[in-house]
């Protein structure tokens, strides 16, 4: 990762201020995902902020799993999150933690609040509690159980821990202010009964802390200095502070920023889980998903995603980012690093009539014009080739500079050929193009003739068969979150699978997740080993047309 100075933003400014005023001696941040799904592009921004701040100021960033809801969490998600954070280019070193590490301490602190008269056991149901809570314009009402004695609350809370009560029958609530203008301070729930097996602690516990209770205290235990959260937690900050103040323990500073919203996708793990469970995508790592696993399988690089997060920046105002910017970032990155290869996705047979039948030439092809160190490779050339169906038209449309009857084109790295005829099937479709070549035009030298078109090709006898999957946006509208049912705006053309494709032989042993630019086609990635059927499969990362660059040029 680059060591270049970071642009200033309000989070960075707050950290600098805290260090200069000696509020904190160093910087400790944390990334606290709940293991109830896979990480997505929105999490990438949070990861970059959390780990980036710690790295810039010589501190450390913890990875802490908020594993307080066993009904929705699993080890699969834990493993996936760890894998994705590392893939993105960050590491927590020895600082891997779980909220469940602190269950005993959190319980003891809850008992302390009960003894202080600051927490009580409540028998209201969830519906009743909602009714008593009031509204934004009306104060709440106190629960009839709010004034239980300390002794009664201690006894009931201990019995809750021992499993004597049914799920939902009792909660532990903080006693704050039912008339507060901030609804989060109207006696929030600290613990609920949930008799579910936890993926780490098993059946040791049947009461589990709420996020607002576990989060701040976990930060305190770990010595976190800056608890960086998304904007929806801004109204929770007074509660975060209240718990820490009552316990008189180490008090981190909570700072909020606007979460990332990206066009043509959704960031809700609940909605993404629905797509997975209902089979509308192939899994969390479906290349159409905004998950890091999906983006990786599609061919996105961690460098491109970090660059995107850097360009998006840190703001307090919620806004929608165009997915074209993310695509622009990966194009820029892959343009520099991806090796060029020739691949024919919809093959049309081309026969060079005056080329010797047994002859095979090895032609030099450039691996990456943006990187001279990438060198060249040899590409076999023979009498029978495959070209793209779209590279031949009979009759040609206006301003068509590719192959048509009587027209000439350059074959990339090879020769100038001229169409002399076609072979058609019973339905009138073109099944073969016949050409002659100019032996003196090797390398594309037209010798003064105006040959405007250049097309790619592969040698028919040397080409490797492949399947190619062309991916597009998962949703057909820019703001699917604004639709009542996101399933109604799924893009029916988000995936097109092409079989019978042909790629040059150098791709025969391409490793999973290796990335290439298919000349004139776009950027593609070899599908991962766990998802491969028999044969070679390429996923299209992004096409060559850069809509974001055009938008920015127009603005300029």
> Residues with catalytic annotation?
34, 259, 269
Alpha carbon distances (Å) from 540 to 87, 261, 327, 345, 428: 20, 23, 12, 11, 31
The CB density around residue 61, as the number of other CB atoms within 10 Å, is 27
Hunting for tokens 């690089």 — which residue is that?
Answer: 301
Q: What is the DSSP string of 421-471?
A: EEEE-TTS-EEEEEEEE-GGGTTT--TT-----EE--EETTT-EEEEEEEE
The CB density around residue 539, as the number of other CB atoms within 10 Å, is 25
SS3 state of residue 49: helix
Helix (H) or strand (E) holding 30: strand 28-31
59 φ/ψ angles, rounded to the nearest 5 degrees: -105, -150
Alpha carbon distances (Å) from 309 to 29, 52, 326, 366: 18, 11, 9, 32
Alpha carbon distances (Å) from 86 to 37, 47, 65, 337, 479: 17, 11, 15, 21, 30
Q: Which two tokens stand for residue 401?
A: 């500079």
Beta-carbon contacts of 296 under 8 Å, excluding residues fewer than 6 positions away, are 84, 87, 285, 513
The CB density around residue 160, as the number of other CB atoms within 10 Å, is 20
């Amino acid at each position: 990762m680059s060591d270049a100075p970071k642009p200033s933003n309000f989070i960075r400014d707050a950290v600098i201020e805290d260090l200069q005023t000696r509020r904190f001696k160093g910087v400790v941040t944390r990334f606290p995902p709940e293991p109830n799904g896979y990480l997505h592009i929105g999490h990438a921004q949070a990861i970059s902020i959390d780990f980036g701040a710690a790295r810039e100021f010589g501190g450390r960033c913890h990875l802490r799993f908020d594993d307080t809801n066993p009904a929705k969490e699993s080890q699969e998600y834990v493993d996936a999150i760890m894998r994705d954070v590392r893939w993105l280019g960050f590491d927590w070193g020895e600082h891997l933690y779980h909220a469940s590490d602190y269950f005993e301490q959190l319980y003891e602190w809850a008992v302390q609040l009960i003894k202080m008269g600051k927490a009580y056991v409540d028998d209201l149901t969830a519906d009743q509690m909602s009714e008593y809570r009031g509204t934004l314009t009306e104060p709440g009402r106190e629960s009839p159980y709010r004034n239980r004695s300390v002794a009664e609350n201690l006894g009931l809370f201990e019995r809750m821990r021992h499993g004597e009560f049914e799920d939902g029958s009792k909660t532990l609530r903080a006693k704050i202010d039912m008339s507060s203008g901030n609804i989060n301070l109207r006696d929030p729930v600290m613990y609920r009964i949930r008799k579910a097996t936890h993926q780490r602690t098993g059946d040791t516990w049947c009461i589990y802390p709420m996020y607002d209770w576990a989060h701040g205290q976990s930060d305190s235990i770990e010595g976190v200095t800056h608890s960086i959260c998304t904007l929806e937690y801004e109204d929770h900050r007074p509660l975060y502070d209240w718990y820490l103040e009552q316990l008189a323990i180490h008090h981190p500073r909570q700072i909020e920023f606007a979460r990332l919203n990206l066009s043509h996708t959704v960031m809700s793990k609940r909605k993404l889980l629905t797509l997975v469970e209902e089979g509308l995508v192939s899994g969390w790592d479906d290349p159409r998903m905004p998950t890091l696993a999906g983006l990786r399988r599609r061919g996105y690089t961690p460098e491109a995603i970090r660059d995107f997060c850097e360009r998006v920046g840190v703001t307090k105002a919620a806004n929608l980012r165009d997915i074209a910017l993310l695509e622009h970032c990966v194009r820029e990155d892959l343009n520099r690093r991806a090796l060029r290869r020739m691949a024919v996705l919809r093959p049309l047979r081309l026969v060079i009539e005056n080329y010797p039948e047994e002859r095979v030439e090895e032609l030099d092809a450039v691996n990456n014009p943006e990187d001279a160190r990438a060198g060249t490779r040899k590409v076999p050339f023979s009498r029978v080739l495959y070209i793209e169906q779209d590279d031949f038209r009979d009759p040609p449309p206006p301003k068509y500079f590719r192959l048509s009857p009587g027209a000439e084109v350059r074959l990339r790295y090879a020769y100038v050929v001229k169409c002399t005829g076609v072979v058609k099937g019973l339905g009138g479709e073109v099944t073969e193009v016949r050409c002659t070549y100019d032996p003196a035009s090797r390398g594309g030298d037209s010798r003064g003739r105006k040959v405007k078109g250049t097309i790619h090709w592969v040698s028919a006898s040397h080409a490797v068969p492949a399947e190619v999957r062309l991916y597009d946006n998962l949703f057909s509208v820019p703001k699917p979150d604004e639709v009542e049912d996101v399933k109604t705006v799924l893009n029916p053309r988000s995936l097109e699978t092409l079989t019978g494709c042909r790629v040059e032989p150098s791709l025969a042993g391409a490793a999973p997740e290796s990335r290439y630019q298919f000349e004139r086609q776009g950027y593609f990635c070899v599908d991962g080993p766990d998802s491969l059927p028999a044969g070679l499969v390429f996923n299209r990362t992004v096409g060559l047309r850069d809509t974001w660059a055009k938008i920015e040029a127009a603005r300029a």
